[in-house]
Amino acid sequence: MKLRFILSEVGKGLTRNRAMSVAVVIVTFVSLLFVGVAGLAQMQVGKMKSEWYDKIEVSIYMCASDDQAQSCGGTEATDDQISAVRDKLNSDDLKPYIKEVYEESKDEAYQNFQKLYGDTAIGQWTTADMLQVSFRVKLVNPEQYSIIKEEFSGTGGVSEVKDQREVVEPLFKIIDRAKMLSLGLAGVMIIAAVLLISTTIRLSAMSREEETSVMRLVGASALFIQAPFMIEGALAAIIGAALSVGSLYAGVHFLVQGWLAKAFPWTSFIGTREVWIMAPLLVLAALVLSLVASAFSLAKYTKV
């Protein structure tokens, strides 16, 4: 009997404040959508870092003939300079930081160059003597790239020390900035959602002030009086959360997996699995959002 009464009161409240309830759904949907986008963006950055950081190498390029780098002075690296770099890479001092070293000779560099550009004019014009010896260094911790750069930059015979992470870091920064923008927008929309839910609950409580007064006089508990209002806010918020989860699922399925993953096959992207990881968090956030907003409104208008 009590449950039936509470549900009937919930139905009355949603009917009387239909426009406001729809507004709560929309604002909750938009705010949680931004939260979800930020969460998925963070997962995407983590996925790409775990994939690429294991593959990223530091390349030490020795001076080629007529190399105009400041450390080369237009002269090619000598065998002694190449040996010095090789010995330093294999030294005990750098052993804790280096996982693997691969040395590429000029002939090997020429073969790889021909695979990429052999059919072009520059590929036909280039000879093996024009290319340089290089070392590909895979680090135990890719974040310690500066150690290798400091050790070999300016060393005799070394033209350039290049970290492949420089290529992918700008992409990570773009995704991070998109995440921060989403979080900022989500924060604004969450404030709007709290205010709107509070207003909706307040209007609902005011419209039924006589009923709540009678219930209080006959000895109804505070929880019994508050329950219909809290359920109203929770239902609207959960519907908004469900819409945000559905939108995130559609976005990841059609945009990320259906387009980005095919357009950029050289890296991996998040999938619907990550959306389902976010789903319970968004629903929980919707419940907390509605309960916090309801608590502020009910404390005054039901005079608990």
Domain assignments of the chain as residue spans, ordered by start: 2-52+169-301, 58-163
Q: Quick one: pLDDT at residue 249?
A: 95
| Phi, psi (degrees; rounded to nearest 5) at 75 | -115, 150
Residue entry with tokens 């399925």: 253
pTM over 0.75? The answer is: no
Q: Quick one: pLDDT at residue 183?
A: 79
Q: How far apart (Å, rounded) are the C-alpha atoms in residues 181 and 175?
A: 10
Q: Quick one: pLDDT at residue 153?
A: 85
- Taking the CA atoms of residue 138, residue 144, residue 150 and residue 151 in that order, the dihedral angle to the nearest 10 degrees is -50
Q: How far apart (Å, rounded) are the C-alpha atoms in residues 3 and 238?
A: 20
Residue entry with tokens 């968004």: 282
Domain 58-163: give its CATH code.
3.30.70.3040
HSE-up of 279 (CA within 13 Å, CB side)?
Answer: 14
Q: Quick one: pLDDT at residue 224?
A: 56
3 state SS of 135? strand
Tokens representing residue 46 in the block: 């983590």
pLDDT in tens, the chain (304 residues): 454 544 455 455 556 666 667 777 888 888 888 888 888 888 887 787 777 766 678 889 999 888 888 888 888 889 999 999 999 999 998 989 998 999 999 888 888 888 877 777 777 787 888 888 999 998 888 777 888 888 898 888 899 898 877 766 776 777 778 778 877 877 887 787 777 777 777 766 666 555 555 555 555 555 555 667 777 778 888 888 999 999 999 999 999 998 888 887 777 889 999 999 999 999 998 888 888 777 777 665 555 4
Q: Quick one: pLDDT at residue 5?
A: 45
Residue entry with tokens 């500066």: 146
Tokens representing residue 280 in the block: 């319970």
